[in-house]
Amino acid sequence: MSFIKKFIEQEAINRRNFLFASAMGAGGLAAATMFKAGPARAAIEDPAIAWSYRDRTNPYWNAIVSGGESFVESIGKSKADLINLINEGSSEKSLSDVKALLSKTNGKLALAIDTNDSPNARPVVEAVAEKGAFVSTLWNKTADLHPWDFGDNYVSHMAWSDVGPAEQTATILFKAMGGKDAIVGLGGIASNNPAIERRNGLDNAMKKFPDIQLLDYQAADWDTQKAATIMASYLTRFGDEIKGVFCANDTMAYGVLEALRAEGLAGQIPIVAYDGNAQAVDLIMAGELLATVYTNPYWGGGITAALAYHAAIGTFKPSEEPHEHREFNGPTILITKDDAENFKKQYVDATPSYDWKDFWGPSTGAITY
């Protein structure tokens, strides 16, 4: 059995939220409330530290949380001290779990979170600020939501500028196709910032290659099984018209490869992806993927937790920081067959060590909208 099939089976296992079940119900998200500032709070002596995210069976999110665990260990705690809130792809559950934890800790909380989709960021941030807790977000928020509008409680937001790197991977794909013929695409959750930016990168590349046709582009929600199903339907609909595949992340590319293998087409259709997971790097070295982009989720996960924690204990005051320290982009690395082996030695076979108090060292500047 291929590792991709094993990955799909693992992903299909019932995911468990091993620390907190949803406690607030659907009403928490449905209720429309005006934001009310929470109590002024001095530095918190020993805040609870939590990471709220989609699913640890996904290699990308496993790396994010591993970074968070590394940070927690750096301050003399154990991995078990990091509270895991697993939203299972539900924005409603994400908000409900956060509210339950805020109640349990009485707001003595440093929270790192990807809110699952952009609209969910505002109610999460408002709930945190109302309790006087501290939150740093990653990837998803709306453009009109800013940390500096919430004093110190909304510490920071980190994303990655995906348009340029996605345009690079699409260009690599088009050149491998000789600059002509047709492709299909698979995107992430439609309301996710990275899904939007990576599609924009594809569109930018297509403007430079007028002989490339996009047959169809569907959201596979970052999911391997869904991507396999969609790719199988593409093969039924379009057959040998498909000369290339653009995937907005690696785990969807695994599903694409499984669908191609089922039809005896493995290695015959070039594919590009995104995220730089270890399996994707192996597939590039084996010639089954053309390129992926690494966003260093390990550093992103650790530094997001570090920012929330150090703001909570008073190491620094977020409201005194410039805007580029409160909304900033993380680093990216393009990986192709030429550099995959060296990349694997540095980032996969070894884990780089980071100074978790160097909050903005590897960042690439302010987010622009």
Tens of pLDDT along 47-57?
A: 999 999 999 99
What per-residue confidence (pLDDT) applies to 35? 52
Residue 256 pLDDT exceeds 70: yes
**Stretch 299-328: mean pLDDT, rounded?**
98
Amino acid sitting at position 182: A
pLDDT digits (tens, 9 = 90+) for 169-225: 999 999 999 999 999 999 999 989 999 999 999 999 999 999 999 999 999 999 999
Residue 120 pLDDT exceeds 50: yes
Residue 128 pLDDT exceeds 70: yes
Residue 21 pLDDT exceeds 70: no
Higher-confidence position of 152 and 8: 152
Alpha-carbon distance of 101 to 17, in angstroms, equals 13
Residue 1 pLDDT exceeds 80: no
Burial class for 236, CB neighbours closer than 10 Å (0-12, 13-18, 19+): exposed
Alpha-carbon distance of 248 to 162, in angstroms, equals 10
| Cα three-residue angle 173-174-177, rounded to 5 degrees | 90
What would you measure as the largest C-alpha separation in the chain, in angstroms? 64
pLDDT digits (tens, 9 = 90+) for 272-289: 999 999 999 999 999 999
Percent of the chain with pLDDT over 90: 85
Chain centroid to Cα 343, Å, comes to: 20
Residue 101 pLDDT exceeds 90: yes
| Residue 10 pLDDT grade (very low, low, confident, very high; cuts 50, 70, 90) | very low
Residue 26 pLDDT exceeds 60: no
pLDDT digits (tens, 9 = 90+) for 67-85: 999 999 999 999 999 999 9
| Residue 39 pLDDT grade (very low, low, confident, very high; cuts 50, 70, 90) | low
Mean pLDDT, all residues of the chain: 90
Burial class for 308, CB neighbours closer than 10 Å (0-12, 13-18, 19+): buried
What per-residue confidence (pLDDT) applies to 347? 93
| Residue 28 pLDDT grade (very low, low, confident, very high; cuts 50, 70, 90) | very low
Burial class for 146, CB neighbours closer than 10 Å (0-12, 13-18, 19+): middle
What per-residue confidence (pLDDT) applies to 266? 87
Amino acid sitting at position 226: K
- Considering only CA atoms, which of 140, 144, 128, 78 is closest in space to residue 300? 140
**Stretch 286-313: mean pLDDT, rounded?**
97
What per-residue confidence (pLDDT) applies to 352? 86
What per-residue confidence (pLDDT) applies to 361? 92
Residue 348 pLDDT exceeds 70: yes
Residue 30 pLDDT exceeds 50: no
What per-residue confidence (pLDDT) applies to 285? 96
Tokens 């013929």, residue located: 181
What per-residue confidence (pLDDT) applies to 351? 85
What per-residue confidence (pLDDT) applies to 206? 98
| Residue 36 pLDDT grade (very low, low, confident, very high; cuts 50, 70, 90) | low
Least confident window among 7-16, 139-148, 347-356: 7-16
What per-residue confidence (pLDDT) applies to 40? 56
